[in-house]
Structure 1
Amino acid sequence: MAVIDSQLDTQSDSYLTNFRVMSEAVNEIRDIEQRVIDAAQAKAPRYIKRGLIPPRERLGLLLDAGAPFLELSTLCSYKQAEDTDGTGAGGSYIAGIGYISGVRCVVAVDDYLTKGGSIGPYGGKKRQRMMDIAMENKLPMVNLSQSGGGNLKLAGDTFGESGAMFAKQCRLSAMGIPQITVVHGSATAGGAYQPTLSDYLIMVRRQSTMYLAGPPLLKAATGEIATDEELGGAEMHSEVAGTNDYLAENDADGIRLAREVTQKLGWKADSTVHSGSDFQPPIYPREQLRGIVPEDPKTPFDMREVIARIADASEFLEFKREFDQGTLCGHITLEGHTCGVIGNNSPITARGAAKAAQFIQLCEQSGTPLLFLTNTTGFLVGTEAEQAGIIKHGAKFIQAVTNCTVPKITLIVSGSYGAGNYAMAGRGMGPRFLFAWPRSVVSVMGPAQAGSVMRQVAEAKLARSGEVTDKMRASVDAMEKETVEAMEARSNALANTARGWDDGIIDPADTRAVVAFVLSVCREGDARDVNTNTFGVGRL
């Protein structure tokens, strides 16, 4: 394959400005994440006195020391619903993909130190997303559970769909994908079904409780008086009801048991999957990725500069280079994993759409995963584009993206607008994983364009009404300004990740490591056979 000859001038003023602006955006993300951790840790001492281990320390005990862990959706729920100060980022839920006793798993820890571990709309969305990842990639799921349950103030907006979380648990079990849950605290009402729908259940003596109605509600509803232990204590569920499978002595012992159960699953990495050990790194430093995207989003850049800094040996076998320069297609290897790449250097033309659709079919034929590197204003418009069949070829592109069965991994590098978002495997098209760079934008159109459209509609309406006053003109000006500001506020990277539109914002410098990791997750999952059944494992 040809080595990409980078044209990036890393000493130019524009590069240095781009690097500085992107680094500031990365630091903003890291600062938000750290503030959430600091706010949680400030509450930890009083729980430690009660024998409880803080959530992130539980995570550390569960994971294999020194093994990679990819945390996902760290800013989900940021400043959404009741999170006015941003400390609810993460949705009271620490989750990602890591190794437990040598087994790659989806790992989830309720963050009881953040908002009491309560589940809001976006926290619930994040929980369901982790189950989807487990399903798609055939990964066992291990939960360390201690949640306050659903946020009752917000339940009216979400309850009708809340059963989907439990339905996905049932489907995971029926698919033959194990779920292991340690109950560290209280699991009440609907929250009691999450652990009991798991395939393996671990409770902690004199600490865990599970019941449909706690002592206060029971007394109010029926007049019966009972203790926590009588109603739903760990010993009762282990010795009397038979709900529990393993009885732990304390927090740490519960995590030890979770590691041992995971070890006994017989779920090691498939030996047929490429280990990714014999490869050459890119010839350009990964840190240079921070300086590629221009400060001004209207300034174009060559996506080959990104490819040069993530591909093994910076090699790129480009497909139909001469046919269309605006849509890049080609093959790379990434830490030894073969991968097809589709990227944007301009709006998507009819030729670019046809080229990309053909390339996707070739990757489908060979079973080659696809990486989408997105920076597009969408499909080209205008008389010439329409006569070239832009709608027809664009539809073929979207058909190919939607119906191909190979793993799709999407990275929003800069802009992702309109139907271009669909063609480049945006969230709605079901990619296996989707990540974003800081300062990226996902929107139906640019804020300025949206404001201009609204202005034109309003001005046309005023013109039909007859006399136009200065007050009316000022109203149109204000409406255009409000539209632009609203679009900007709801289309930036932070707003998008807060609503669960991606699996996390990543530092551009980490792109190669993150993509290589999820590529190996996809390959391992696709190579694994699972033992399915009809109804899942029933707790008898």
Structure 2
Amino acid sequence: MPTGPDAAAARSPAEQNAEAYHAQCEAIERARHLAVAGGSAEAIARHRARGKLTARERIAHLLDPATPFLEIGQLAAHAVYDDPVPSAGIVTGVGTVCGRLVMVMANDATVKGGTYYPLTVKKQIRAQEVARENALPCLYLVDSGGAFLPMQEDIFPDENHFGRIFRNIAELSAAGLPQIAAVMGSCTAGGAYIPAMCDETVIVRGNGTIFLGGPQLVQAATGVVVDAETLGGADVHTRASAVADHLAEDDLHAIAILRAVLSRTPPRPLPGPDVAPEPPLHPPSEIAGLVPASPRQRMPVRDILARLLDGGRLEEYRARWGRTIVCGTGAIEGYGVGIVMNDGVLYAESAQKAANFIALCCQRDIPLLFLHDVSGFMVGEEYEAGGIARHGAKLVNAVATARVPKLSLLIGGSYGAGNYAMCGRAFGPRLMAMWPNARTSVMGGEQAATVLSLVRESQLRGAGKTFEADERARFEAPIRATYERTSHPLHAAARLWVDAVIRPEETRAWLALALAMAKGAPRAETRFGVFRM
């Protein structure tokens, strides 16, 4: 068997692509393992010694058997803080409970006692926003020590800080979306308002506590020494204060009560598909061999679609015009969808074509799926004079104001204004994910290094100096390294710039659940702004 360069030459391009792709997956899989594991072994042991289930065990018992769980923000906070905070200390996602699609938010008390870091707050607010857009009831499995006090200025005072969680509970309840809490552990200070503001609340005897000021604060403020159970335990809040409505003996009993409470709401099962589902033309497992090993190579877009869409069929729109963007309608597991997919840099024709297609989908109430592999808009004297900014603005306008459900998936690069035009995070996709090979930043690392190098060269020339080749190389290398690190899917997912990092073979299932969820949500009318003609 050949080895070294000969072995590489003997492998097919698909095999070489798959090898490069799987190498990129390794870091993602290690991060996933850490996120799912939760806190340290010692913290988990202490948790279990109190007779408590872990956050993920609670969710597993809560969900209907053999139903999917679409987790949101699994990799949040990965390698962001000085200490590990797996999954940002809270597990959030969409699942089925008593035949009803719901948003579940479960504090993980094995991670820093379930305290709220800035990204914990951001993640819970994101989960509530997904619930709002898709008209989902919210179930809160509360086990938290409240705000992480050393970072209070990044948690407490601003519009999208801790208080926004409570405001959202009130607004979601006012919108007719049930808000139900189970207090399974500590619930301290501002966090006490989560169960207090919910429509209905369960509390576990012996473990659940609710108080605005814990025993230490009470002693500091009043001099009175009181234990946690006497101050805010289950007996006090179900017998004397009525802060909680139902008394549970343990976690499993609390979950049973939660399910019973939710079962009283009108049923809303997962909406069925528009047409009979079909498998794709080719298996999605082959996509790994299609993803180019080099980011400089173009993604074979139609080959990708043949492995994502039912039957591989795309009813393409303006196939012969504006060819660097592919638009058309198809289905995923029977759910109809409009596809907007890059096949090169965006030109004026591409932007106009995609904007027109988005308008058609809005008129016909067809959800949109944006598949990113874009370096941005074409630049240069000819294109600026031709109004590329004006034509690009049409597409950005259409994406921003479209009110059909929008999903966004980064399958390759997603850079600069191309990210905006393809419904990046700032443009409100219902859900957004990346493949392990995808990258996103204001521009590619190579381009950034070149641009900054040219700026540096110009500065040196102005000072009468030269920019030698070895000095240029030393200058550019850390820029490339920084861009590679900060454009990586782990970096994006850790900061909740995307909701998930998913593998190509998982994509159809992930999209089908997202499309089904969106189908069951109320529709909004699209009103476009002024297009610069």
In the superposition, the TM-score normalised over structure 2's length comes to 0.92
Please give the per-residue CA displacement for 1:479-538, whole angstroms capped at 9, x wherever unaligned. Answer: 43222222221111111111100010001111111101100000011269xxxxxxxxxx
Give ranges in structure 2 of 5+ residues lacking alignment. Answer: 1-9, 525-533
Q: Which residue of 2 aligns with 1:124?
A: 121
Of residues 346, 354, 357, the one that matches 1:356 is 354
Which residue number in structure 2 is paired with residue 481 of structure 1? 477
Q: Aligned match of 1:102 in 94, 99, 102?
A: 99
Q: Match of 2:13?
A: 14
Contact 2:409 2:432 in 1 (8 A): yes
Give the number of equivalent residue pairs.
511
Question: For 1:49 and 1:466, how far apart are their aligned partners in 2?
Answer: 71
Question: Counterparts of 2:423 and 2:503 in 1: how far apart (Å)?
Answer: 21
Output the CA distance in 2 between the equivalents of 1:122 and 1:432. Answer: 19
Distance in 1 (CA, whole Å) between partners of 2:59 and 2:241 is 29
Please tell me the root mean square deviation across aligned C-alpha atoms, in Å.
1.9
Q: Deviations over 1:24-56 (max 9, x none)?
A: 333432222223434637243333232111222
Aligned match of 2:336: 338
Q: How does 1:519-538 map onto structure 2 within 5 Å? A: 519-526=515-522
How is 1:257-268 mapped onto 2 (pairs within 5 angstroms)? 257-268=257-268
* 1:408 and 1:433 in contact (8 A); partners too: yes
The CA deviation at 1:123 is 1.8
Aligned pairs for 1:22-421 (under 5 A) are 22-38=21-37, 40=39, 42-43=41-42, 44-83=44-83, 87-161=84-158, 162=161, 163-269=163-269, 273-275=271-273, 278-421=276-419
Give me the TM-score of the superposition, normalised by structure 1: 0.91
Residue of structure 1 aligned with 2:427, choices 426, 429, 433: 429
Partner of 1:493: 489
Alpha-carbon distance, 1:368 to partner: 0.4
1:89 touches 1:498 (CA, 8 Å); kept in 2?
no
- Change in CA separation of 1:320 and 1:277 when aligned onto 2, cut-off 3 Å: closer
Number of the residue aligned with 1:441: 439
Cα deviations by residue, 1:144-198 (Å, 9 ceiling, x for unpaired):
1112222222222332222222222221112111111111111111111111121
Matched residue of 1:91: which SS? Answer: helix
**Contact 1:237 / 1:243 at 8 angstroms: preserved in 2?**
yes
Deviation at 1:477, TM superposition (A): 4.7
Question: Which of 519-528 and 144-153 deviates more?
Answer: 519-528
Tell me if the contact between 1:33 and 1:89 (Cα under 8 Å) persists in the aligned partners.
no
Report the CA distance between 1:426 and its aligned residue: 0.3
Cα offset, 1:290, TM superposition: 1.6
Q: Is the 8 A contact 1:436 1:493 kept in 2?
A: yes
Moved more, 11-20 or 171-180: 11-20
- Report the AA paired with residue 136 of structure 2: L
| CA drift at 1:474 | 6.8
Work out the CA distance in 2 between the residues paired with 1:105 and 1:407.
Answer: 18
- What secondary structure sits across from 1:113 in the alignment? coil
SS in 1 for 2:440: strand
Q: 1:228 to 1:46 in 2, by over 3 A?
A: closer
- Contact 1:202/1:246 (<8 A) preserved: yes
Quick one: distance in 1 between partners of 2:403 and 2:134? 13
Moved more, 368-377 or 293-302: 293-302
AA at the equivalent of 1:367: D
Partner of 1:457: 455
